[in-house]
Amino acid sequence: MRRSTLHELSLPPPGILAEVHTFLRGLHVPSYRYHQLVTAFQRGAQTFHDVRDLPSDLRQQLISRFGLTVLPLEVEAVRTGEQVEKVLFRTRSGARVETVLSRYRAGWSSVCVSTQAGCGLACSFCATGALGLERNLSVDEICAQVVHRRWSAEPGGAPKSVAFMGMGEALANPNVLTALNVLTTPGYGGLSPRRITVSTVGLAPALTALTEAHPQVTLTLSVHSPFPEQRAQLIPLERRFPLEENLAILDRHVLRARRKTYLAYLLIEGINDSEAHLGALARLVQRRSRPELFHVSVIRYNAAFGADPSFRAPAPSKVDDFVARLNRQGIGATRRQQFGADIDAACGQLRAESLGRLGRRRPAGDPQA
């Protein structure tokens, strides 16, 4: 990703920088002052006090209006494992959100961001949902997880791809569409939309809006069961927006965008790993408008997801076998690479520990990630 150089920009992205920009214009301050301020924060300033290029009375006015800083996230806790780093950020309002950085051996990294503090959709396999929704994250809070200074020291530079697979249902937060605009605008995030993946459990109206606004963004729809009754037990949203409705949207999307689209399948021992499940899942893909553009991403259930304690992780060999049998039926399928088993890298766990509402045995997580 090209590091954003707001210095070059005529207009700031929506969010607090836009407010600062407007505020300075209201004071009739020369435009280079805004650039000095942005550059100082890019270079490591933590508060307005650190922006020494600005006259002290202007710094004081900014503090009176915005508080000590424009930085929306502060690092509260970090857990590091092999190829993965999980960071718990605290927002200015005190909400806690998690971000996971995965480092690939090829020398680049990817960041998995949260879109909500908590989640209101109550999927039965995910303890983030069990904690309920605290609030949607702002555009600033979403984008800051991607361009945070913490990642700038990475050997391969800033993250090359972004997955909206952390805490929360991305499509339940309208700020996500604006965040995508910011992240893909040259000079701000500067990311190719093809390097961004948005995962959803199936909020059909918002999925339609996303496919229209950002047709090149990669989409992942959580399936987890091909049977409506069972899927509704795993993902209650099925009752409002059935899988078939979401798949119909993706059928139209792949015809228009010609982009490969992913169907996530969380494999849970004894729950959705039977021959009947496999056959129905294969038929579901074969019925698609362009089956070759649908790829099944099989995810091994992990106790770190913190769901119903009766849920069990299948043996790794069972996951490989499930994938192989899908392949034999002509279905494009792979096992999703999961980093961080050594640190329970499912999103939401650090937050749950920080809130003290879940014990180590029952951490929160979003198995879409």
Is the Cβ of residue 245 or residue 321 nearer to ligand SF4 in the bound state? 245
Nearest to 222 by CA among 107, 162, 301: 301
Q: CB-hemisphere CA count at 13 Å for 237?
A: 25
Q: Which of 98, 134, 169, 238 is catalytic?
A: 98
Taking the CA atoms of residue 201, residue 203, residue 204 and residue 207 in that order, the dihedral angle to the nearest 10 degrees is -90
Is the Cβ of residue 238 or residue 366 nearer to ligand SF4 in the bound state? 366
Structural contact between residues 68 and 48, judged by C-beta atoms closer than 8 angstroms: yes
Q: Which residue is nearest to ligand SF4 (CB)?
A: 129
Q: Which of 112, 119, 126, 347 is catalytic?
A: 347
Nearest approach, Cβ of 168 to ligand SF4 (angstroms)? 5
Nearest approach, Cβ of 212 to ligand SF4 (angstroms)? 22
Is the Cβ of residue 18 or residue 122 nearer to ligand SF4 in the bound state? 122
Is the Cβ of residue 119 or residue 182 nearer to ligand SF4 in the bound state? 119
State the helix-helix crossing angle for 316-328 and 275-286, rounded to 10 degrees: 40
Nearest approach, Cβ of 119 to ligand SF4 (angstroms)? 3
Nearest approach, Cβ of 157 to ligand SF4 (angstroms)? 29
In sequence order, which residues have a C-beta less than 8 Å from that of residue 30 and are 6 or more positions away? none
Structural contact between residues 226 and 284, judged by C-beta atoms closer than 8 angstroms: yes
Q: Is 126 a catalytic residue?
A: no
Nearest to 221 by CA among 241, 240, 239: 241
Is the Cβ of residue 125 or residue 188 nearer to ligand SF4 in the bound state? 125
Q: Is 123 a catalytic residue?
A: no
87: left (phi over 0), alpha (psi -120 to 50) or beta: beta
Is the Cβ of residue 120 or residue 190 nearer to ligand SF4 in the bound state? 120
List residues binding ligand SF4 (CB under 6 A). 119, 121-123, 126, 128-129, 167-169, 201, 366, 368
Nearest approach, Cβ of 89 to ligand SF4 (angstroms)? 17
**Residues forming beta bridges with residue 264, ordered by sequence position:** 222, 297
DSSP 125: T
DSSP 134: E
Nearest approach, Cβ of 4 to ligand SF4 (angstroms)? 28
Question: What is the C-alpha to C-alpha distance for residues 90 and 98, in angstroms, rounded to an integer?
Answer: 9
Helix (H) or strand (E) holding 57: helix 56-66
Greatest alpha-carbon pair distance for the chain in Å reads: 71
| Residues that are catalytic | 98, 347
